[in-house]
Structure 1
Amino acid sequence: MKKLINAVENVLSESLDGFAAAHADIVTLGDERKFVQRRSLKKGKVALVSGGGSGHEPLHAGFVGHGMLDAACPGQVFTSPTPDQMVAAAQAVDTGGGVLFIVKNYEGDVMNFAMGAEMAADMGVAKVATVITDDDVAVEKSTYSIGRRGVAGTMIVERLVGAAAEQGRDLAALESYGKDVNARTRSMGVALTSCTVPAAGKPTFTLGEDEMEMGVGIHGEPGRRRVKLAEADAIAAEMMGAILDDLAPKAGQQVLLLVNGFGGTPAMELYLMCNAARRILAGRKLLAARCLVGSYVTSLEMAGCSLTVSLVEDADLALWDQPVHTAALRWGM
């Protein structure tokens, strides 16, 4: 294992300290590093809180700021944060509008956020609601989840709901909108290499020199099958085929396309995959109204990528284009 670390047990705390220092104009750390929160809160706005295991950076802390999240709870690498973290975050960012939890569909995350919501209500947070993301079409069940996994589509939910929250929509409206966006968002990933969790000290899985894992999860969970390495067009065709067959969009539908790197993939290759995916969309008579390319929902140093398609209307695009200012995503400000 070759990593830029000191002691394994201090990886998260030292990383969070560096993150907070680098983006001190946007975020601040909560007590005992239980959460990252917006430095400037908006009175009366519904607060958005998300979180999950670390190792997926910039998800979720990198999306704390104007137009997205108000707080993010980081767990240890690939490990759910604890309910007391959600409670502390909710109490810190609730300014009267209530709190919306955005939770990826992994057993630990769902269970702990549910407990956190109950505890927060008992401790004075008057209004709490939850949106669970489950956009991965690769498998129905995995090592970590019951039903579909929540993966890169989570970022799209956080962005669109975050923009809507800035406009002053109430908690019930944001909960409904978040569930709607999730319902029309699908993702699938492919891994060319494994990743190495620092505490484990060895790769999560092993791939041959000419193999790839089709449908891999963001923790390195098994996908649909292990296959021989193929050309980018063939990889994109399989992933987009699974996504679009599941979404079943109508010809002429506008979509938002996210090409997401897993941490070890060069930008050149991600843009190449974007080009391949756009050609497939055009062949289905679908319009890629917006494209976002980069490493946003990673799996440590894994090489590979995921493709996400979200069906959108003009109103969604208007929200997407609203100003956003976070460590990892910013435009219009």
Structure 2
Amino acid sequence: MKKIINDPADVVRESLEGLAVAFPDTLRVQLDPAVVSRADGPVTGKVALVSGGGSGHEPLHTGLVGLGMLDAAVPGPVFTSPTPDAVLAGVQAADGGAGVVLLVKNYTGDVLNFEVAAELAGAEGVPVRTVLIDDDVAVEDSTFTAGRRGIAGAVLVEKIAGAAAERGDGLDAVAEIATRVVRGVRSMGAALSGCTVPHSGEPSFTLAEDEIELGIGVHGEPGRRRMPLPPADALVAQLLDPVLDDLRAEAGDRVLLLVNGMGGTPLAELHLAARAAHGRLGERGLQVSRMLVGNYVTALEMQGMSLSVLRLDDEMLALWDAPVRTPALRWGA
């Protein structure tokens, strides 16, 4: 294992300290418990968005804190859910008096710990709504979940719901638009290699030189099957077709396409895949109104990618285009 680290036990803390010095005008970082919040927060009278989960998926969620997206992110240990007290601290750091929407990826630890935190926040008089993200079409149940996993679609939920909160929507309205995005987005990924959690020192799984895992989860959970690595266009088709079939996308629909790297995939390869995905969507009669290509929901140094497709309406499109200023996404602000 080769990693640019000091003590494996200090990776998350030292990474957060680095994030704080890199973006002092955007973020505020506390370490015990670990919470990343807006430097200008809490914003009085604004509905706050809070998300989080195990570290190792950066820039999700800590790199998506700022104007137009999250008000706070709660990072747990690598691939491990944050505790309820940490999530509660995130709620307290974000709450501006208009209530808090919790955006939770569907992993058992996250679901349970965010649920407890929501109850604790409610007992303190903070109105809370919870939206569960479960966009992965690869498998129905997996190592860490009951039901579908939440993967790269989380980025789209956080951006669009974050813009709704920024424009002044109320608590129920922000939760509703987040729920609408969850219902309209589907994702599927593939891994070309495993990843190594710093404290373990061993890859989460191994693949033969010519082998991939189709439908992989972001922690290295198994997918649909292992198979020989096909050419890029064929791999894109095997990821995109199940996404579109499950989404029941129809000719004429406007969509947003996210081509997401898993941490170890060169941008040149992601753009090559974006070319193939854009063409295949066109063949299905779908209008690609917006695209996002890059590493947004990673699994440490895993080689691979995921494809996400969101069916857009006018409101979602306007909210996607609204100003955002975070470490990982920045436009119009």
Normalising by the smaller structure, the TM-score range is over 0.9
Tell me if structure 2 keeps the 8 A contact 1:102–1:130.
yes
Q: Distance in 1 between matches of 2:325 and 2:219?
A: 27
**In structure 2, what residue type is equivalent to 1:74?**
P
- Give TM-score scaled by structure 1 length: 0.99
**In structure 2, what residue type is equivalent to 1:48?**
L
Q: Which residue of 2 aligns with 1:302?
A: 302
Q: Which residue of 1 aligns with 2:321?
A: 321
Runs (4+) off by over 3 Å: none
Q: Which residue of 1 aligns with 2:68?
A: 67
Cα deviation for residue 33 of structure 1 reads 4.7
Q: Which residue of 2 aligns with 1:116?
A: 117
Q: Which residue of 2 aligns with 1:287?
A: 287
Structure 1 window deviating more from structure 2 (33-42 vs 80-89): it is 33-42
Tell me if structure 1 keeps the 8 A contact 2:258–2:307.
yes
Cα deviation for residue 31 of structure 1 reads 5.1
Residue segments in structure 1 that go unaligned for 5+ positions in a row: none
Q: Which residue of 2 aligns with 1:136?
A: 136
C-alpha RMSD of matched pairs (Å): 0.7
In structure 1, the residue corresponding to 2:32 is in which secondary structure? helix
In structure 1, the residue corresponding to 2:122 is in which secondary structure? helix
Tell me if structure 1 keeps the 8 A contact 2:190–2:304.
yes
Between Structure 1 and Structure 2, how many residues are aligned?
332
Cα deviation for residue 159 of structure 1 reads 0.3
Q: Which residue of 2 aligns with 1:91?
A: 92
Q: Distance in 2 between matches of 1:160 and 1:242?
A: 24
Q: Distance in 2 between matches of 1:132 and 1:270?
A: 28
Q: Distance in 2 between matches of 1:31 and 1:269?
A: 36
Q: Which residue of 2 aligns with 1:25?
A: 25
Tell me if structure 1 keeps the 8 A contact 2:53–2:74.
yes
Tell me if structure 2 keeps the 8 A contact 1:138–1:224.
yes
In structure 2, the residue corresponding to 1:30 is in which secondary structure? strand
Q: Which residue of 1 aligns with 2:250?
A: 250
Residue segments in structure 2 that go unaligned for 5+ positions in a row: none
Cα deviation for residue 30 of structure 1 reads 2.5
Q: Which residue of 1 aligns with 2:237?
A: 237
Identity of aligned residues (%): 57
- Give TM-score scaled by structure 2 length: 0.99
Q: Which residue of 1 aligns with 2:197?
A: 197
Q: Structure 1 residues 31, 216: closer, same or farther in 2, change over 3 A?
A: closer
Q: Distance in 1 between matches of 2:93 and 2:246?
A: 39
Structure 1 window deviating more from structure 2 (85-94 vs 207-216): it is 85-94
